[in-house]
Amino acid sequence: MAHRTLPVALLLVCSCAHEERGEVQAPAQPLSAASMERHFEEADAMRAAAVRGEADTVREVATAFAARISESTYPQPWGPSVQRLETVLARASTVEGAAQSAGLVAEVGASCGGCHADNDVPVAVDWPSEPSPEHRMDTFAYATELLWLGLIVPSDAAWERGAQAYHAALSCEDFEAVSLGPHHVSLCSSVKATGASVVTANDAAGRQRAFADVVSTCAGCHGAAD
């Protein structure tokens, strides 16, 4: 199944971050904007695969990502944040199935957001473009992108907008048109349940859990539709 391409340069760090780092805090290569863009791409590839329910791809991307990180050396103060991401990625080899893939991806997102938040890294966001209202999957993809930004930046505004968009797309009736057999009813109720949890999640841990539930719900349906 095709997935939406993310707008290029979705996130920009404000230029003051570059200037202030100067000589006091040497700008280390592994934490450069270019390296972060690769982080973003790899984490995003994991997320897209998890939405499609492809645990193998999630594992593969995570393994390559972990290898790239382990080849770099980070300045000491960044150690704990880097380690947190490394520990999460190291678990990828044991991940099986859609639910565990979704959980891993959510944890990766929370680790990105954890480093940015703990170290006051300003990551400014360009919103993804509004979906066309007739296409429910566009709305779902849009909402998921915003929730994802909410985790990795981390951004309350992105999360809240994503939660609203997701919640607004929650009437399951339209799904009657899609042949999903016996999965229909239970998926409809899990879509509604995750809708409620994204709206109420208001801290990093709660959002990580809610994001895992959302991705797991997407994957449940996509897997069943194959």
Minimal distance in Å, beta carbon 203 to ligand HEC?
A: 19
Considering only residues 94 through 113, tell me which ones interact with ligand HEC, judged by CB under 6 A: 108, 111-112
Considering only residues 12 through 41, tell me which ones interact with ligand HEC, judged by CB under 6 A: 12-13, 17-18, 31-33, 36-37, 39-40
Decide: is 199 part of the binding site for ligand HEC (CB under 6 A).
Answer: no
Contact (Cβ atoms closer than 8 angstroms) between residue 105 and residue 85: no
Contacts with ligand HEC, 126-145, as mask; x by CB under 6 A? -----------x--xx--x-
Decide whether 87 or 93 has the Cβ nearer to ligand HEC: 87
| Identified binder of ligand HEC from the candidate list 58, 85, 95, 106, rule CB under 6 A | 85
Number of residues that bind ligand HEC (CB under 6 A): 45
| Identified binder of ligand HEC from the candidate list 3, 68, 91, 192, rule CB under 6 A | 3
Decide: is 78 part of the binding site for ligand HEC (CB under 6 A).
Answer: yes
